[in-house]
Structure 1
């Protein structure tokens, strides 16, 4: 689907070319990319700065070590196996519980030890990594799901993406897993994205497969009532990742743990643009404002600025269920192709 350039300019849509050249190219030093492209390095870096992350059970670095995976997960009720250098949710395997010699995914599908070993071996070979390079398998403890979100998600833990520019949280959304996404909070695989008001953490609108949604496709629960608890704490955590990484244009992915509160899952030096669809608004105005007016403040002052300047007021009623998001899902902006 395409849209006229004037439509995209009016809505302040940031396209891939502008994102890559104006923001990523200008504000992200390529020497810092390994800090966020490698999930293991990100985890260790976050822990050094006192940022909470899911507990690390262990890592597998060689094919010889694959046979030790069983020892690593003995007496562990649930766990996640992920590639250190993966992207887009690829290669993430969630085991919700263990029943004897069977490992049960959130969907109810049972895996064997041989299945786990094969998956770890594929990770090491680079099947899911950026550029297909050899990788490391990271095994983490399962997140204690905050049951306040149980009606909003299906067979998976929802996460919260916040785009941080020069240390200021400029836009946010929650990603809700669905049957289509196989329990993963990944929009490209069919998760629902819900735009969030930076001021309050309240839902603005929902989208799935580039079309609006007012209710979760599997649970049937309406999305308008979604409110993120501990919202300011979460924004402070996201904003502090600027100092942690030194990256000026950053995507922070976080979850809410029932016992430990907001936790950092991973960071992204090239955050996607689908967050604009979920918010029904382009990033351009917010990024321009930060460039023009916001400089050198402490973390709490940056969050204050964002909550004050980017609050959504007088929100229009959502469009009818399933209406295509022309001009936001895809289109052209000054001759460039826009892609989420």
Structure 2
């Protein structure tokens, strides 16, 4: 599909721009008093656990440098884990450890890191080095997700995640973010990951986008992206839809990982999801927002909202 730069043409095609997103979605749908429910990953996790929404297990939370001094005790029983800032953004400050090599820890990139370096990294998190606004932060040590082998042929080292945009409780668009060598194994489009559009109706991957250009293949594995079908798709969409009640936010990005053993796990929430998902799907958010406003079963439970979405936003190519 050829993208036309004219603002009028993009609006006609239903493409949401930044100004429209900020004014009509974020400002109108997202009360600021609810932002801590998504900006604080530790709070998000605890709210999700209380609501029965599956998340990676939390091993420890480190709030002070005194706690960080006890890292040896915290890590002595762990072989693989993730360290992340509770208020981080864009994947910054996240360290993934996949195993041990003697006294050293092996990161997802293959590099070795010592306990002292991990303790120093935690201290940096506490100082606010990776937090929004540079405020003092909390370090979370949690379960490392073992991603479903479905994605092995189209990812590089890291864990792919599935971003679903939820509007007024209805999943309206989704994409899989596939780690690449350029992104250092992270599933972050701004750092060089691939975004692959997903048909809401079936969970089937469509074409992708890499560095803002269309792509049919993963840049590192060279395997074709389109055609893979995400298992437990309806369950995954219901998990995303339930995050509407969890947060009270009408425009929400829900990041889910597909664990090989536990199935869909909610990883993070975002009150300001970006617009690149439209490029990955070759479709406009604005059109789908209009469909939800006029036709969706507002006030219905999550399964009914998901059923509506799967019918309304099914791709003709996979129908």
* Cα displacement string for residues 306-338 of structure 1 (whole angstroms, at most 9, x for unaligned residues): 0111111048xxxxxxxxxxxxxxxxxxxxxxx
CA–CA distance in structure 2, aligned partners of residues 176 and 308 of structure 1: 26
CA–CA distance in structure 1, aligned partners of residues 218 and 117 of structure 2: 31
CA–CA distance in structure 1, aligned partners of residues 214 and 277 of structure 2: 13
SS, match of residue 87 in structure 2: coil
For 1:87, the equivalent position in structure 2 comes to 89
For 1:196, the equivalent position in structure 2 comes to 198
For 1:302, the equivalent position in structure 2 comes to 305
After superposing on structure 2, the runs of 4+ consecutive aligned residues of structure 1 that deviate more than 2 Å are none
Aligned length: 315
2:123 maps to which of 121, 124, 127? 121
* Cα displacement string for residues 152-181 of structure 1 (whole angstroms, at most 9, x for unaligned residues): 111111000000000000000000001111
Give 1:258 deviation, angstroms: 1.0
CA–CA distance in structure 2, aligned partners of residues 282 and 2 of structure 1: 13
SS, match of residue 205 in structure 1: strand
For 1:67, the equivalent position in structure 2 comes to 69
For 2:25, the equivalent position in structure 1 comes to 23
SS, match of residue 291 in structure 1: helix
* Cα displacement string for residues 28-59 of structure 1 (whole angstroms, at most 9, x for unaligned residues): 11111001100000000000000111011101
Q: 2:127–2:137: 8 Å Cα contact kept in structure 1?
A: yes
Give 1:108 deviation, angstroms: 0.8
For 1:42, the equivalent position in structure 2 comes to 44
SS, match of residue 96 in structure 1: strand
CA–CA distance in structure 2, aligned partners of residues 312 and 271 of structure 1: 22
Q: With structure 2 as the length reference, what TM-score do the two structures score? A: 0.96
Written as runs of structure 1 = structure 2, the 5 A alignment for 1:1-340 is 3-294=5-296, 295-314=298-317
Give 1:212 deviation, angstroms: 1.1
**Residue segments in structure 1 that go unaligned for 5+ positions in a row:** 316-340
Give 1:2 deviation, angstroms: 8.7
CA–CA distance in structure 1, aligned partners of residues 215 and 116 of structure 2: 39
Q: 2:4–2:10: 8 Å Cα contact kept in structure 1?
A: no
Larger RCO (CA within 8 A; separation ≥ 6) = 1
Give 1:16 deviation, angstroms: 1.3
Q: With structure 1 as the length reference, what TM-score do the two structures score? A: 0.90
**Residue segments in structure 2 that go unaligned for 5+ positions in a row:** none
CA–CA distance in structure 1, aligned partners of residues 202 and 72 of structure 2: 44
